[in-house]
Amino acid sequence: MDLKLTTASGAVLDLDFEPVQSLAADPKNFIETILREINCGHNGCQSIYHECLRRGDVVVDLGANVGLVSLYASTVASRVVAVEASPRHFATLYEVLRKTGATNVTPLHAAVWTRDGELTFAPDADNSTMDRIDYPAECDGVPRPQGVRVPCLTLAAILDQFRIDRAGWVKMDVEGAELDILESPSFARAAHRIDRLWVEVHNYKDGRDGVLLAHQVREELLKHFPRIHGFTNRWMLALRE
């Protein structure tokens, strides 16, 4: 596998080092899919994020995983806050940022949620890119792995902590917590400070329908943003501009 990432500025970063090599070798990890989506999208020509970012933006990457989208944004953003709850992902994120020299990316080990405090975060046994909040007791009859306690913050608290008055782009890929966050009063305290909000949704093993969830997410976004661009059943971009 070619472990290279093409950033928003067109610069190419070589990620052929540990621990990225181990992730790519793991059949339960989908780093190859993530790189493909960042590098060329599904149309073979541009990143799925190409309309999200403006030069000089402050970017908040919610659900940063191992930092690939944060790296994509870092070459044109003024600064990036990379928020990741999974302890194993955060450790890799920290190492990836160190080895690539992305000095304008600040990692934060926390889950974005509806309140500040702590919550239980559980790994996914089948897909190591999808650790998440509030996993059901069983998925397809298989008991869930043991969860760990991690800190959680609202989006408003994250913006306050990093003194962000205006976030040009917020990416939200939080594995099923999207609707809870968007419906919470805490999100209303943050939404007016965001220019562009990219949200990813999925089908989930706990029985929720990804198509229905996507439409519910869209309705919540329209309460805070004038328009939605590129709506699909997997992702959408809410715009204030």
pLDDT digits (tens, 9 = 90+) for 62-118: 999 999 999 999 999 999 999 999 998 999 999 999 999 999 999 999 999 999 999
- The pLDDT value recorded for residue 128 is 65
Decide if pLDDT at 28 tops 60: yes
Cβ atoms of residues 177 and 69 within 8 Å: no
> Percent of the chain at pLDDT above 70?
86
Domains delineated in the chain: 47-239 (3.40.50.150)
Q: How is residue 149 written in tokens? A: 């306690």
Distance CA 92, CA 94 (A): 5
The encoded tokens of residue 62 equal 């919610």
Bridge partners, residue 79, by sequence: 58
What φ, ψ does residue 169 adopt, rounded to 5°?
A: -140, 130
Give buried/exposed letters for 82-107 (b at 16+ CB in 10 A, else e).
bbbbbeebbebbbbbbeebebeebeb
Q: Report the half-sphere exposure of 28 (CA within 13 A, side-chain side).
A: 8
Specify the pTM. 0.91
**Least confident interval from 7-16, 46-55, 200-209:** 200-209
Which pLDDT band holds residue 227 (cuts at 50, 70, 90)? very high
Q: Output the six-digit token pair for 96.
A: 């990836």
Phi, psi angle pair for 76, to nearest 5°? -125, -20
Q: How confident is the model at residue 142 (pLDDT cuts 50, 70, 90)?
A: very low
Residue 131 has pLDDT above 80, yes or no: no
CB contact at 8 A, 5 and 72: yes
**How large a percentage of the chain has pLDDT more than 90?**
62
Average pLDDT over residues 29-50: 79
For 71, the token pair is 């790296």
Give the whole-angstrom CA distance, residue 143 versus residue 26: 22
- Cis before 145 (ω within 30): no
* pLDDT attached to residue 233: 73
Provide the pLDDT for residue 30.
Answer: 83
Q: Could you tell me the pLDDT band of residue 137, with boundaries at 50, 70 and 90?
A: very low
| H or E element at residue 152 | strand 148-153
Percent helix, strand, coil in the chain, to 5, is 30, 25, 45
Does the pLDDT at position 241 exceed 60? yes
Mean pLDDT of all residues in the chain?
A: 87
Query: Could you read off the pLDDT of 172-226 as tens digits, one per residue?
Result: 999 888 999 999 999 999 999 999 999 988 766 556 677 888 889 999 999 999 9
